[in-house]
Structure 1
Amino acid sequence: MLRTHLPERADTLGTSVREADLGLRLDGAGHGLLDTTHFDTVRFPPPDWALPAFTAAAQDGDLAYTGYRGNADVRATVARSVSALLGVDVDPDRNIAVTTGTQGGLFATLSALVDYGDVVALADPEYLFVERMLRFLGARVVRIGMVEDPAGPQLDLAALEVAAREGVKLVLTSNPNNPTGTVYTPATVRGLADLAVRHDFLVVVDELYCRLVYDGVPFTHLAAEPGMAERTVTLLGGSKTESLSGYRVGVAVGPGPVVDAIEQVMAISCLRAPAYSQHVLTRWLVDDVEFVRERVGELRALRELTLERLRRVDGLVVRPGSGTAYLWPDVSALGLTDVEVARLLQTEAGVVVSPGYQFGPSGHGRFRVCYARDEGLWSAALDRVVGALNGAAKAVAS
C-alpha cells in the first residue's frame, strides 16, 4: 500500500502525497467547514424521480440480487440511452456493466486491464485517485501533460505519441477534464483515436461530466470515432450532473471481453452495484433532459460569480473551463504553495479546497474548487477566500 502514497513526490512536495492529505485532513469528511471538494447536494438535489425509483425497487425483495454486471432490465434500458448518448451500438448483454459509482467502475476497469509492470499513460493533471489506483495495481505510470489552446488546455498528443512508440498498454484521461474543466476539442479526440488505432492501445475515458458543458461547446465521444468502439472503455454516471452520488451507481461501457473482466472484478470485490439503486438508472438520460438544461444554466451563473470574485485576488490566475463545476486557479504568483493555500483557506476562510498536488506534478501551485454551492453561502465564502488570499500575499511580499 505504501506505493499508493506516492512517496517519490516528496522531491517537490516535501512529503508523500498521502502524508500531505493527512496533514490537511482531506478525508472527505469536511469537518464542519464549507467543503468544495464535491457538489452541494442540498442546493443541487437529485431529480424528483430518483427516490421513487429507488423506493419502488426496494419494496420488491426479488430485486435484491442481480447478475454481477447488473439487473438485466436495467441494463437493457441503460444500453438504449447510452447508445443514443455515445452514438455507438451498445449491447446490454455484452458491452455494459452497472458499477458501484463511477469511482468503483474506474477501479474495476483498471483492475481488469492492468497487470503489474504495465505501462499506463495518464493525463496530467487528472482526477486525484487515478494514479493511486494504478500504483496499487503495480503499473508504471507515464504522465502526459497538457498544451495550451484557445479552447482550453488539451492533451499533448505529441508527447503521447512518443510514449506510445516506447510502448503503452493503456491511456487514461477524463473529458471534460477533472480538474481543469476543459473540454477536449474534436481535433484532440480524433488525434487520440488515431494514436490508439496506429499504436494499438486501449483508452479509458471518464466522461462523467459530458452533459455538464457550457455555451454550446461541442462534445465529442471517443468511442464513436473510427476503430475506437473496440478500444475504448467509457465511464458514465449521474453522480454529478444529476446529483445521484448517494445512490452509488455508475456505468462502464466497453468491448465485450473487457466488460467480462470487469464483471469478474466486481464479483470478487462487491458482488454487484447496490441492487435497488440500480433502478434509478432507468430514468437517467431519459427523464432528465430539462432538469440537466436548467442545472447547467444555474452552474454557469455560479461559474461567472466565482470567476469574478477570484479575479479580485492580486496575482491569482484563473480561466473558465467549458465543462464540470470546477475551477483550477494558479496561485504560484502569490508566493504560496498549494499546500499553504489549502491550509490558509481552511483556517482563515473556513473553506476546504483540493490542493493541486493531488492531481499530478503539474498541479503544484494550483487548487481545485467546486462552485456547485448555495449562492448566498458561496458568495460570503468567496469574500472570505479573497480576503485570506490577498492578506497572505501581502504578508509574503512584505
Structure 2
Amino acid sequence: MRPRPTRLNHVAGFNIDAVAASAGDDPEILRLENLDTDLLPPPSAVEATRAAVGLDSANSYLPFTGQQAAKEAVAGYVAGRTGVSYDPATEVILTSSDGDCLLDALLALTDPGDEIVLTDPTYAGMLNRVYLAGGVPRLVPMTVSAGAWRLDLGELEAAVTPKTRAIFLQNPSFPSGYCLTEDEWSAIAGLCVARDIWLIYWSLMEGIVFDAQPILSPVAYPGMRERTIIVGSASIEQRMIGWRIGWILAPRAVMSDVAVVHMYNGITPGGIAQAGLIAALSDGDESFAQCVTEWERRRNALTTTLQGFAMIPAAGGWSQIVDTVHHGVDPGDLSRVLLRHGVAATAMTGWGGPVADRHLRLVFSNEPVERIQLLGDRFRAAVREAGGRA
C-alpha cells in the first residue's frame, strides 16, 4: 500500500464524535461536548424552508454561487452590522456552511508552503484545513491578562514572515471564547496593511458577545475591506445548524477565484436551505438578543459551578476551556473519567499547540442553567478520581 498523503500527516481526527457516541442517548449525561444549542431557529426560517420543499426552483444545482435573493440578504445582513457594503452579484457567494467556505478561502488565496497565522488555541477545523490546503501554520499563543484571554501582539508580529500569506481568525473564538479588543484588531489590521497579507475572518459567532462588549468587525478598519475574506454561516447566530448554509464575502478582484474553487469543492448549497436563509436574514431575528442573554446566563452558571478551577470565562461564543494540567490531570484522561460521572466533554488536543493541549472544552450552549449547575460536583469528583487536585 502506498504511503498516506503528506497533507494528512498532521491532520488529527475529531474526538467529539467518539465522546458523543460514548454518551449515547442517556438523558442524565450533561452534553457539553458538541457545538449544538437547544434554542430554536427563527420561526420565519422554518416556515420558509417548509414552503420551499417540492418547489422546482429550490431543487436545482443553479445558480452555482447562490440565488440572487439569498446573496442580497447576506450582503444586507453584513452591511447592517459592519457599515461596509458588498455587491451581491460580484462579491458574495453562498456555500454549504461552515467547512467548505473555510477551505474555499484557503485554496483560492494560498499556495502550498505558504504560512498561515492562527492563534493557539484555535478551532481544529481551521488548523486542519490549513494542512489540507498545503499551508504551514504559525501559531500565536493566547495569554491570560486581568482574567481574560489576550492576543500577544509582539508574538503576532514575530509570527509574520515573508512567507506569510494570511492571518486566519475567528472572533469570538471557539473554543476558548476569547474576544479581540479594539487595540488587538487595530494591530492585526496594521500588520495586514503593512505586510500586504490577507485576513481570513470567520464571523461565525460575531454577534455573540457578553458583558455589554461592542461587536467589532475587521472590515471596518482602514485598508481592510480590500484584504479581508469574510466567511460566515447561519449555523450559530441563527441556530440553523441543520440547514448547512453559509457564505463568503470578498473583494471583487479575488471573488472569481473563490467562486471557481467553491464550484469544484461544494458546487452549490441547497435551494431549500437558501429559502430559510433569506427569511432568517431578511425578516430579522427578534429572538437573537434573547438568545445571547440566555447563553450569557449559561456562561455565568458554568463559571460559578466550576469556581476555583483554572478557567477563563468566555467573553463570547458558546464554550470555554479548563486548564486541567494545572490541576494535575491530562485533559484526555479527564474526558474519559467524566463520562463515568455523567459529563460529556472533550479534550483540546490537536486544537492548536501547547496552550490548547492543556485544556478541556466545555460547550454551554446546549444545556439549561439548571442542568449546568449540576456540573460542579460531578467535575470535582472526576478530577479526584483521575488523581488530580480539585
The TM-score normalised by the length of structure 1 is 0.88
2:34–2:363: 8 Å Cα contact kept in structure 1? yes
Q: Does 1:264 align with 2:260?
A: yes
Whole-angstrom CA distance in 2 between matches of 1:358 and 1:91? 38
Q: Identify the residue that residue 176 of structure 1 maps to in structure 2.
A: 172
Relative contact order (C-alpha < 8 Å, sep 6+): which is higher?
A: 2
Partner amino acid for 1:67?
A: P
Write the deviation string for residues 278-331 of structure 1: whole angstroms up to 9, x where unpaired: 12222334444431111111111111111111126xxx2112121002111111
Q: Identify the residue that residue 380 of structure 1 maps to in structure 2.
A: 374
Partner amino acid for 2:338?
A: L
Mapping of residues 310-329 of structure 1, within 5 Å? 310-311=306-307, 316-329=309-322
Write the deviation string for residues 243-294 of structure 1: whole angstroms up to 9, x where unpaired: 1010000111111233322221221123101221012222334444431111
2:347–2:360: 8 Å Cα contact kept in structure 1? yes
Q: Identify the residue that residue 350 of structure 2 maps to in structure 1.
A: 358
Number of aligned residues: 381
Q: Identify the residue that residue 54 of structure 2 maps to in structure 1.
A: 59
Q: Identify the residue that residue 125 of structure 1 maps to in structure 2.
A: 121
**Alpha carbons of structure 1 residues 64 and 188: separation in structure 2 relative to 1, 3 Å:** same
Q: Identify the residue that residue 279 of structure 2 maps to in structure 1.
A: 283
Partner amino acid for 1:330?
A: D
Whole-angstrom CA distance in 1 between matches of 2:376 and 2:119? 30
Q: Identify the residue that residue 229 of structure 1 maps to in structure 2.
A: 225
Write the deviation string for residues 41-95 of structure 1: whole angstroms up to 9, x where unpaired: 4x31212112111122223212322321111111122212211112211110111
| Equivalent position SS for 1:368 | strand
1:34–1:350: 8 Å Cα contact kept in structure 2? yes
Partner amino acid for 2:275?
A: H
Whole-angstrom CA distance in 2 between matches of 1:397 and 1:301? 27
Partner amino acid for 1:325?
A: W
**Alpha carbons of structure 1 residues 146 and 396: separation in structure 2 relative to 1, 3 Å:** closer
Mapping of residues 41-56 of structure 1, within 5 Å? 41=37, 43-56=38-51
Whole-angstrom CA distance in 2 between matches of 1:146 and 1:39? 22
Match of 2:87 among 87, 91, 97: 91
Match of 2:197 among 182, 188, 201: 201
| Equivalent position SS for 2:378 | helix
1:124–1:143: 8 Å Cα contact kept in structure 2? yes
Q: Percent identity?
A: 23
Write the deviation string for residues 166-197 of structure 1: whole angstroms up to 9, x where unpaired: 43011101111222111100111111001100
| Equivalent position SS for 2:215 | coil
Q: Does 1:368 align with 2:382?
A: no
Partner amino acid for 2:58?
A: L
Q: Does 1:148 align with 2:141?
A: no
Match of 1:343 among 318, 327, 336: 336
2:73–2:282: 8 Å Cα contact kept in structure 1? no
Partner amino acid for 1:56?
A: A
1:327–1:369: 8 Å Cα contact kept in structure 2? yes
Q: Identify the residue that residue 389 of structure 1 maps to in structure 2.
A: 383
2:174–2:318: 8 Å Cα contact kept in structure 1? no
Q: RMSD in angstroms over aligned alpha carbons?
A: 2.5
The TM-score normalised by the length of structure 2 is 0.90
Cα deviation, residue 383, structure 1: 3.5
Whole-angstrom CA distance in 2 between matches of 1:386 and 1:373? 21
